[in-house]
Amino acid sequence: MHDLAAGGRTINIMETPTPDWTIWSAMPHAELWELSLLAMDVSPQREFVELVPLEDPRFVVPAAYPDFDAHKAQNIWKLARTRQAELEPVPGLDSFTIASFAQMMRKAGVPLPVQFPGSGTARGRWPWGDYTTPELDALAAAVKIFWCDFDPTSPDAAPTNDEVSDWLMKQHGLSSNTAVALASAMRDPRAPVGRRKKVVEKG
């Protein structure tokens, strides 16, 4: 923080405040301008919309927070208003559920802060955090090897479930039943089912 003299008064220059996610994680709903700021990991404060007309909602850059990206916030707010039909309104309030906002943002391909409720980007290895099991580790390893580079336009290149389950048993020591179940669960729905047809070369 530092001070800046402007117009005969001293302004405290500070970094844009971040949300108290302990509080916001327990909040079921918020207004669009609040949700837009939360999506940027910015604490929703009235000074960001101070003296803004309701018919032309936009963000302002408070003198105390010159690093605030009002343009980015405005784009998020505009997206939210454009896709407002996808949001779940709260009866009697000018608010929407935070869960529906997070879902809309995911569909729009806009990343959210890891702490944003329902963002699906929790800190850790998995969407739910760091909890894991040997089976989950084996699943992740197999997906990277067999399916991450799968090209649906070349279906014959898809691995068979037998190939995947055999690898899981040999490399990770899984039981046959577990390996077969995981191989089936990770299989791309666009891949052909059954064994690959053998190509018979004509002599």
Average pLDDT of the chain is 78
Average confidence (pLDDT) over 118-134: 64
Q: Which amino acid is at 45?
A: Q
Cβ atoms of 179 and 165 closer than 8 Å: yes
pLDDT at residue number 132: 80
Average confidence (pLDDT) over 136-145: 87
Cα dihedral angle (24, 29, 33, 38), rounded to 10 degrees?
Answer: 30
C-alpha gyration radius of the chain:
25
Average confidence (pLDDT) over 117-122: 62
SS3 6: strand
For residue 6, what pLDDT band results from cuts at 50, 70 and 90? very low
70-82 and 98-108 helices, crossing angle to 10°: 100
Q: Which residues contact 197 (CB under 8 A, 6 or more apart)?
A: none
Is the pLDDT assigned to residue 4 strictly greater than 80? no
Average confidence (pLDDT) over 191-197: 67
Cβ atoms of 133 and 147 closer than 8 Å: no
Percent of the chain scoring above 90 in pLDDT: 16
Report d(CA 50, CA 3) in Å as an integer. 22
For residue 51, what pLDDT band results from cuts at 50, 70 and 90? low
CA distance readout (Å), 199 to 45, 76, 149, 193:
67, 53, 23, 17
The pTM for the full model equals 0.52
Within 58-120, where are the H helices? 70-82, 98-108
pLDDT at residue number 7: 43
